[in-house]
Structures are given as structure tokens and as C-alpha cells.
């Protein structure tokens, strides 16, 4: 009879990423190891959680880095199980044991979930997320489980199921505080504020006003910077700029002009940082912010230029997220 692990800890997950050039080099190494059928080289690279995080954040053109993680993991897993097995079909005790023997962190479950999240592969995303949550007591690091709840909340948010999104992020927030994982705590707070800013029309849910969203996301950006998660800090500043745009739409003349100027400066800073770090998600959203800002001030050429830049990047990276600013055509 299987026994659940008794000793659990809440070690912080790996959030730092390599610079763009190192990411490209290691991605090429992983691709080469796959092509040349070198299982030991593949497992050594899969055990580098910082690399996995880097590949997920940067995605690669056409989702190349995401697909590389998926193929590499399946290659390794089929070699260890002697079959083309799906994670959900393997007993948790066996899977965690062979991961541990290979030196691969439990966090790989989270990174695989993010692969499927970004590819909008609903069956596989829900399968792996449910696998983590259903087997929560088997994980030595409960931060993996807390992050799975946050990821599930993000999935619900993307699909407009805001009550479910907030419920999952509340679980993630509680767990993160209990185990001392500050990044997941910040990400859960981000998710809660994001959902509460989009619940117009649903009287059963509390709506956060743009001024409250501005305060929340500005504070989260500063906190995430201090925690060393610059890419999430960029995203928080983009959301703060979005709140400023919504506020500006409700003001007149000088107030509106001042708010839009602040939103533009925030969005431009986010855009430059995203480009420097090769973080396409944030670059797309920052460009969409700027397009919306120039629409407000009737500068059609700049509005179209930034919007076209965002569309081109969406195509290049197969980005499937919704447009950030309501009203963008």
C-alpha cells in the first residue's frame, strides 16, 4: 500500500533566468542532445531548473522553446518507463522517485504546466495541474502545489471564469504565506487584483476601481523587483499603466493628459526592458498599451504603428493571450 510523504517543506522555487544569449546557447545544447539521442545530456539540462524557467519566459519563435521542453521531457520519460507514457498514467510514487534519481526538481511539473498554458493546450494543462493538486501530499516541496493552484487560477482568469480564478488564487495565497514562498504570494495577489479588475457586470464579485488597481500593481512591481523576478515586475507595471489609461478615459483635459503621460512613460519603460531581456509577452502587452494611449490622444500613425508591432510579435511567438486594453480593434 502506497504511503504519502510525511515530511514536507515550502522551499522557494527557482525564479531567476539566464540572460538571452545563455538561454539561446543552452536551448541549442538541449536541441542537439535530443537530435543526437543523448539521454544523459538531456537529463543534465532538464535538471537545470533555471534553464526551464528561462525557456518558458522567452518561449522562442513559434513557441520553439516550449515545444523543446515538452519533447525533451517525453524523451527522458519514455526512456525511463520504456513506453510513451503520459504523466497522468504513471503512479506518483514512481514518477517522483525517478525524478529524484535523475536530479530533476519537482518544479518541472510547474514548468510543463506553463508550457501547455502558453500553447493553450487545455487537455494537457488541466491534466498536469490536476495531477499535482490531486497528489499534493506526495510532494516534498509544497510550493509546487501552491503554484499549481495559482496557475489554475490564471487559466480560469484567461477564460473569463473569474470566481473560480479568485478561489484558486486565494488557495495559492494562503499556502504561499504558510510555507514562506514570497514570489507565489505576490503572483497570487497579482492574479486576484487582475480578476477583480475585470468583473464588471457580475454583481456577485467585488470590483476593484482603477485607482485601487494602480496602487496594487505599483506595489507588486516594486516587491517583485526586490524578489529578483524582473519579468513579473514588468508585467505588473504594464497593468499599472493599464489602470492609468482606464482612469484617463474618465477624466477631462489636463487630468487626462497627465494620466496618459504617466501611462506612456510606464509602458515605454516596460517595452524597453522587455526588449532588452527578450521577454515577448511583456513587449506585446506594452505595445498594446501604447497603441491605446495614442488612440486616446488621436495620434493615428503611432497608434497603428504600435498595434502592428504587437500583432507581428503575436504571430512570431504564437502568442494567444487576449488584448490587454478593452476597445483595441
Cell of 161: 471564469
Q: Within the chain, how many helices (H) and strands (E) appear?
A: 15, 0
Give the pLDDT of residue 319.
87
For residues 322 and 4, the model is more confident at 322
Beta bridge partners of 141: 9
CB of 279 within 8 A of CB of 18? no
User: What is the percent of the chain where pLDDT is above 70?
Assistant: 91
CA angle (317 as vertex; 144, 286 as ends), nearest 5:
85
CA distance 109 to 40: 20
Task: Give the residue among 144, 135, 68 at the shortest CA–CA distance from 95.
Answer: 135
Instruction: Flag whether pLDDT at 5 surpasses 60.
Output: no
Q: Can you tell me the mean pLDDT for 109-129?
A: 96
Q: What is the mean pLDDT of the chain?
A: 91
Beta bridge partners of 9: 141
Q: Can you tell me the mean pLDDT for 109-138?
A: 96
Give the pLDDT of residue 253.
86
Convert the pLDDT of each residue in 133-165 to its tens digit: 999 999 999 999 999 999 999 999 999 999 999
Instruction: Flag whether pLDDT at 200 surpasses 60.
Output: no
Q: Can you tell me the mean pLDDT for 191-202?
A: 77
Q: Can you tell me the mean pLDDT for 264-289?
A: 97
Amino acid at each position: 500500500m502506497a504511503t504519502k510523504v510525511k515530511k514536507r517543506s515550502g522551499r522557494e522555487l527557482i525564479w531567476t533566468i539566464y540572460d538571452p544569449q545563455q538561454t539561446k546557447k543552452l536551448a541549442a545544447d538541449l536541441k542537439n542532445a535530443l537530435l543526437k539521442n543523448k539521454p544523459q545530456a538531456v537529463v543534465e539540462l532538464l535538471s537545470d531548473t533555471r534553464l526551464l524557467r528561462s525557456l518558458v519566459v522567452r518561449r522562442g519563435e513559434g513557441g520553439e522553446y516550449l515545444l523543446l521542453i515538452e519533447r525533451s521531457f517525453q524523451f527522458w520519460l519514455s526512456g525511463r518507463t520504456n513506453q510513451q507514457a503520459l504523466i497522468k498514467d504513471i503512479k506518483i510514487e514512481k514518477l517522483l522517485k525517478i525524478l529524484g534519481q535523475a536530479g530533476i526538481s519537482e518544479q518541472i511539473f510547474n514548468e510543463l504546466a506553463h508550457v501547455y498554458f502558453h500553447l493553450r493546450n487545455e487537455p494537457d494543462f488541466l491534466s498536469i495541474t490536476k495531477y499535482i493538486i490531486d497528489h499534493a501530499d506526495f510532494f516534498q516541496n509544497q510550493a509546487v502545489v501552491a503554484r499549481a493552484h495559482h496557475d489554475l487560477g490564471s487559466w480560469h482568469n484567461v477564460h473569463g471564469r473569474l470566481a473560480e480564478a479568485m478561489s484558486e488564487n486565494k488557495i495559492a495565497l494562503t499556502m504561499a504565506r504558510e510555507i514562506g514562498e514570497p514570489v507565489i504570494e505576490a503572483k497570487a495577489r497579482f492574479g486576484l487584483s487582475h480578476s477583480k479588475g475585470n468583473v464588471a457586470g457580475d454583481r456577485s464579485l467585488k470590483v476593484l476601481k482603477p485607482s485601487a488597481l494602480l496602487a496594487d500593481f505599483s506595489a507588486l512591481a516594486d516587491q517583485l523587483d526586490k524578489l529578483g523576478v524582473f519579468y513579473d515586475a514588468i508585467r505588473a507595471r504594464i497593468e499599472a499603466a493599464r489602470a492609468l489609461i482606464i482612469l484617463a478615459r474618465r477624466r477631462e483635459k489636463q487630468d487626462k493628459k497627465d494620466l496618459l503621460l504617466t501611462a506612456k512613460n510606464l509602458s515605454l519603460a516596460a517595452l524597453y526592458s522587455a526588449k532588452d531581456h527578450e521577454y515577448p509577452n511583456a513587449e506585446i502587452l506594452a505595445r498594446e498599451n501604447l497603441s491605446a494611449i495614442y488612440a486616446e490622444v488621436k495620434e493615428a500613425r503611432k497608434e497603428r504603428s504600435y498595434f502592428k508591432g504587437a500583432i507581428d510579435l503575436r504571430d512570431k511567438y504564437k502568442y494567444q493571450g487576449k488584448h490587454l486594453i478593452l476597445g483595441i480593434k
